[in-house]
Structure 1
Amino acid sequence: MTAPASNPTELTEHHTTVTDPLTRPLLAELTYEYSTRYEKPVDLDREYPPEEFGPPGGAFLLLLSIGPLPFEKDLSAGHHLETPTP
């Protein structure tokens, strides 16, 4: 049996749009991921227009954490999580 975490992470839902300043870190990390994985420049606004993530056919949801996430230590040290390639 696993003991409960001493500092549990609290997540809150934030319904928003891709133009919200809170999305900048996420979009910057996605740009880095796509650019390095596919070895070409990526323009997320052109490839995935903001309109696709809004009503009536879409939504944009951020999960915001209060407290450390299990992988946060690696990211704060400047390490990016590696995704295995098929």
Structure 2
Amino acid sequence: MRLDKYLKVSRLIKRRTIANEACDAGRVTVNGKVARASYEVKEGDVLELTLGARTLKVKVVQISEHTAKGDASQLYEVVS
């Protein structure tokens, strides 16, 4: 699954266009490297998002094309 779509489905970022812009601006890293929106996310990847003054680091646990709002947090595990 594409990185921008994963960020939207997991509800780490609300809209896919905003996720795409964050990737283009270099505010999203995967395993320590700046990633493009087209990066194929795999289970076990560590994502780091810098949104404003806040930095969020999560590990991808599961990949799903569609997820209910209540189950979105099960797709990732917060590292720090």
Question: Counting helix residues as a fraction of each chain, which structure ranks higher?
Answer: 1
Shorter-chain TM-score bucket reads under 0.3
**Structure with greater contact order relative to length (CA < 8 Å, sep ≥ 6):** 1
Question: Counting strand residues as a fraction of each chain, which structure ranks higher?
Answer: 2
TM-score by length of 1: 0.26
- Which of the pair has more CA radius of gyration? 1
